[in-house]
Structure 1
Amino acid sequence: MLAQHESIVFPGVYDALSALLAKRAGFELAFLSGYGMSASHLGLPDMGFLGQSDVADVAGRVCVAAGLPLIVDADTGYGNELNVGQTVSRLLRAGAKGCFLEDQCWPKRCGHMAGKEVVDRDEFAAKLAAAVAAKGAADFFIVARTDAVATDGVDEALARMRLAEEAGVDGFFIEAPPDADTLRRIGAEAPRPLVANLIEGGKTPVLRQEELQGLGFSLLLYPLTALYSATKAVGASLAKLRRNGTSDPRDLASFAEFNELIGADELLRGGGPPR
């Protein structure tokens, strides 16, 4: 599917409901965000609180509920090469269509936060090779992510992407380039297809699709747009309820709209969930 597009914009989701909304909006692909899962399921920052079972369980629920091709944030793979292989196998059983694997030391943290550390090149390459071996011939898109720009500079990040290419992964992601010049260099020198990770208020400039495509990026991920917009909307609605003592229907999906979204109408008619 990804090969059919010169570039594709896809959103981050964090649970089954946000994935349903992404599908309704017409997206052909979604990303299950570790940042979003940690915030929505645990109320904690993206700092290594989620484990392999947590992520696989959420991925399974999202895949069943939304029926939307899903790439999962698998963090560091949750251990050594054996753990990485098990992570890929569990995500395949959950119905996911791919994952991101990164080179941070554990416990990891959001790639746009300070204080990151990365494992050595050989360890990263071995984990990627284990992931590729675990997927076998399955239709599963493995993206190698490096956070080395922040720790060791762009040259090291590019070298790690070349090692990832040798390991046989499907996509490449250099996290948190801080400016357009760095994006331009990565687009010119890194293997492809390339991910641009576009966090509103993060370290990387949020350029338009046409600009990023021109720089060589084809997988344009907005991992936190849904989470941040939901947080603002829910916060404002609840503040208004607290302030006024009543809700404002103009701020809300209607009872009928919501039931249609989650498949209640179809089930009441005697059918199955509209997946």
Structure 2
Amino acid sequence: MSTRKNLKALAEARRGILVPGAFNALSAKVIADVGFEALYVTGAGVTNMWLGMPDQGFMGLADIADHTARIRDAVDLPLIVDADTGFGNALNVRHTVRVLERAGADCIQIEDQVAPKRCGHFSGKDVISTEEAVSKIKAAVDARRDADLLIMARTDAAATHGFEAAVERAHRFAEAGADILFVEAVTNETEVRALPQRLHQRPQLMNMVIGGRTPIFGAEELASLGYGFVLYANAPLQGAVAGMQKALTLLRQTQRIDEDPTVVVSFAERQRLVNKAEWDALEKRYT
């Protein structure tokens, strides 16, 4: 089964598939190695880890396409790719979908924020009109060459126009052809529980942002509610930063780091993750 067909089957199962976010090829390999079934190419993670900047619209199409292609080469998991606002109007969205489809995306997420966008759990965000947002989803749907490529429509309207307005937008996105719906940054448990019933015509994703505005639910409970995917877009990033801080603080304080698995992975484990043995075998084959 292709990764796109696999992702479609996972979405339709509505069993709360955990989807961690990858910010580079190595983080994607770790996600695959641990045993997850899909991953999310995170715009916030790419912005934070590669630019050292906050998630406020600094990432461009070339950035996310490059990372998607590298991650596609590194792992065989289905890839959900964060395309922010599509980087412009409906015509730009059409181009974005074509580029990311070629790069290896299996699902492309388009959101309805005003550009420059910002993290869905930041203050100060706004959304475009419903009509313009719907036109962008239609453009995304029309642009795909492979019918198995999925389009995920995200709305941030709950923060600015309220929960009911966000639900109405999601309905409109489904009518426009979106395959998966994503209502971002709902702020209470009642809303989290209500969405799968209110938007039952399409699979949905719920975003669990550690420290964000949405209450944290276990994936099993979200699966029982009917969610297709449970996103932890930046848990790997936050874990990586915590690990770097721990290791570097120890190095500064003690002036050395030994091979301590509570601080760093071993040299051998690092080589295993990047498939050094396979590259050594290829080198022998071609020498």
Q: Counterpart of 1:230?
A: 240
Residue in 2 aligned with 1:180? 189
Instruction: Supply the AA of the counterpart residue of 2:79.
Output: L
Q: Deviations over 1:114-166 (max 9, x none)?
A: 11100000100000000000114432111100000000001110111111111
Q: Distance in 1 between matches of 2:26 and 2:51?
A: 16
Q: What is the letter of the counterpart of residue 221 of structure 2?
A: E
Counterpart contact for 2:14–2:203, Cα < 8 Å: no
Equivalent position amino acid for 1:74 in 2: A
The runs of 4+ residues in structure 1 deviating greater than 4 Å are none
The gaps in structure 2 that reach 5 residues or longer are 1-5
Q: Is the 8 A contact 2:14 2:226 kept in 1?
A: no
1:29 is the counterpart of 2:38: yes
Q: How many residues align?
A: 272
Q: Which moved more, 1:115-124 or 1:187-196?
A: 187-196
Task: State the distance in 1 between where 2:272 and 2:196 align.
Answer: 42
Matched, 1:73 2:85: no
1:221 equivalent to 2:236? Answer no
Report SS of the residue matched to 1:249: coil
Q: TM-score, normalised by structure 2?
A: 0.91
2:256 to 246, 256, 273: 246
Corresponding position of 1:258: 270
Which moved further from structure 2: 138-147 or 38-47? 138-147
**Aligned residue identity for 2:187:** P
1:12-54 CA distance string (max 9 Å, x none): 1100000000010111210011110000110001000001111
**Within-5 A mapping of 1:190-201:** 190=199, 191-201=201-211
Q: Who is 1:14 aligned against?
A: 23
3-state secondary structure, aligned to 2:125: coil
For 2:253, the aligned partner's letter is R
- In the alignment, the residues of structure 2 paired with residue 227 and residue 160 of structure 1 have an alpha-carbon distance, to the nearest angstrom, of 30
Instruction: Measure the CA separation in 2 of the matches of 1:137 and 1:166.
Output: 20
Which aligned pairs between 1:32-181 and structure 2 lie closer than 5 A? 32-181=41-190
**262-271 vs 16-25, which deviates more?**
262-271
Query: Cα RMSD (Å) of the superposition?
Result: 1.4
Give, in whole Å, the separation in 2 of the partners of 1:17 and 1:210: 28
- 1:269 paired with 2:281, answer yes
Q: Secondary structure at the match of 2:282?
A: coil
> % of aligned pairs identical?
42
Partner Cα separation in structure 1 for residue 189 and residue 180 of structure 2? 21
Report the TM-score when normalising by structure 1. 0.95
